[in-house]
Structure 1
């Protein structure tokens, strides 16, 4: 199969390596591409999407700036048929009315759905028994990438940056497990010392039919953690996505633990294998728009 990656920032590079190892022929569209370790790979570089014969490709990955996603998706969906389009998360910077041609398969890259811990967690729990869940991602933006964090799109509200969209994996997982969610209370703020104009803190209090759900995200924590906690009458399940560990606690202080081998690269490959199978766990356009609607609601108070 032949794939085209549009945008070649840090996540575009990860997509490239994952696809390359899976045996895809991969080409790139990037205005800012520079010579690097990828020079040894066999690919064609295009400076603009207009230069590309779109019919040559089976799979398209939209990995450019968030505010360019809508325009890029619209161009692709109008000009190709019977292809697969993967949009890097978030789908757009806000909920926008996009009317697909229905000629193509469109998915959004919420890849944590294909992390082995999440897959086990999905199989372990009866969601109807959960009365409280907490999704936490605390991180420190200056440590994310090698470049000056102030120059990255994450720091810039006008480019679709901000912690709520950047770390919307947690919001997606809340929908993935609980399906229908309502916002009870939301905070989306800039509160830290970071020199950015985007939001660096989000707290969401949600409810489903039977459970209360809290989501906490930030860019400023020097304590790096990414966890999911599920509480039921009989047990508490803790999923640690940084240390790749799943713990089950019962009422008698007994603990069952399982450790996994997992990283972003492997999880990306799991997602691509799912795309080849049209896996039902892939995030759809409709599901991604639910996330954006919830973010818009929280942002507007």
Structure 2
């Protein structure tokens, strides 16, 4: 794990509960503890190894001690199965916790998330969007208008699902399940950041592929095309590509931009073809990204102005998470 000693003040005294102790829940807990927070995990099911001994101590809760911990927490991270996200978030809000950070996707569908959307404390909910915490993305956001309008963009996130967790049968993962997985839910971060860059789609066309080399029920690939007020965007999401590729290319009348995640670089070509490339090596460390997101979730409010949230690398608001989930629902409906 990286040294996450922060330049700004540590999170000493901040109380955090991580609901769920799978791999993502354990990573959240470890990163928050390294930042100085007082962290406890509340597993859905008792499990060995819920705490990582390689990092600072993390308390383990159970069903008897968990509810009281929710009430006292400054932040609750919901990292349970997707089908439980809404229920676990509402439980924490009703208990009185300060803020919630819900892992993606927010729910299987936008309709399933409506009980949360109508909750009186919905304004206190963040939706995980770690790509917003990349320094490369925040740099890209400052340059996106430089290429001029109208723009065209191609978003890509393509990889080989069996390589994600080689020690586990990918067919047993949530990614393979039609009700919780598939590339639209799994790779929803790509749709989220595209909306930050270009705004909400006014039109959408979609093609989903369920057939392919993987033996899974969920869609293995999705190709989307949409229009916004400032850009035409194509997007390719799939589980069936080797070697992997991830990033965005933007073209306009005054030049082009490319954000390449595997190399953590942003390249700007001006109208004459002169290239300027900046590298962001810290973006290659997943814990550093999660630390930026976690700090912003505690120090910035979801009601803050978009510019403040984007500069801090904050997650998506609940409204933004619901809008992106609705885009996924629409793509499935029309494909």
Q: 1:23 aligns with which of 29, 36, 57?
A: 36
Q: Secondary structure at the match of 2:94?
A: helix
Q: Deviations over 1:198-221 (max 9, x none)?
A: 111111111111310111100111
Whole-angstrom distance in 2 between the partners of 1:36 and 1:75? 21
- Equivalent residue, structure 2, for 1:111: 130
- Equivalent residue, structure 2, for 1:156: 177
Aligned partners of 2:152 and 2:233 also within 8 Å: yes
Instruction: Flag structure 2 segments of 5+ consecutive residues without an equivalent.
Output: 1-13, 301-307
**TM-fit CA distance, 1:33:** 2.5
Whole-angstrom distance in 2 between the partners of 1:176 and 1:32? 39
Aligned partners of 2:204 and 2:331 also within 8 Å: no
Aligned partners of 2:50 and 2:60 also within 8 Å: no
Aligned partners of 1:183 and 1:294 also within 8 Å: no
Q: 1:211 aligns with which of 228, 231, 245?
A: 231
Q: Deviations over 1:40-97 (max 9, x none)?
A: 642222344874312221110001111111111121222215x010000111110021
Aligned partners of 2:123 and 2:318 also within 8 Å: no
1:166-205 equivalences under 5 Å are 166-205=186-225
**TM-fit CA distance, 1:276:** 2.8
Aligned partners of 1:133 and 1:214 also within 8 Å: yes
Q: Secondary structure at the match of 1:286?
A: helix
Q: Which segment drifts farther, 208-217 or 49-58?
A: 49-58
- Equivalent residue, structure 2, for 1:57: 73
Aligned partners of 2:71 and 2:92 also within 8 Å: no
Whole-angstrom distance in 1 between the partners of 2:202 and 2:123? 30
Q: Which segment drifts farther, 219-228 or 274-283?
A: 274-283
Instruction: Flag structure 1 segments of 5+ consecutive residues without an equivalent.
Output: none
**TM-fit CA distance, 1:179:** 2.0
Q: 1:268 aligns with which of 290, 304, 321?
A: 290
**TM-fit CA distance, 1:188:** 2.3
Aligned partners of 1:78 and 1:101 also within 8 Å: no
- Equivalent residue, structure 2, for 1:95: 110
Q: Secondary structure at the match of 2:85?
A: helix
Q: Secondary structure at the match of 1:52?
A: helix
**TM-fit CA distance, 1:171:** 0.3
Q: How many residues align?
A: 299
Q: Deviations over 1:201-243 (max 9, x none)?
A: 1111111113101111001111201011111112111110111
1:295 paired with 2:334, answer no
Whole-angstrom distance in 1 between the partners of 2:244 and 2:64? 38
1:280 paired with 2:299, answer no
Cα distance, 1:203–1:50 mapped onto 2, change above 3 Å? farther
Cα distance, 1:134–1:264 mapped onto 2, change above 3 Å? same
- Equivalent residue, structure 2, for 1:123: 142
Whole-angstrom distance in 1 between the partners of 2:59 and 2:16? 11
Aligned partners of 1:135 and 1:228 also within 8 Å: yes
Whole-angstrom distance in 1 between the partners of 2:202 and 2:64? 39
Q: Which segment drifts farther, 10-19 or 133-142?
A: 10-19
Aligned partners of 2:78 and 2:100 also within 8 Å: yes
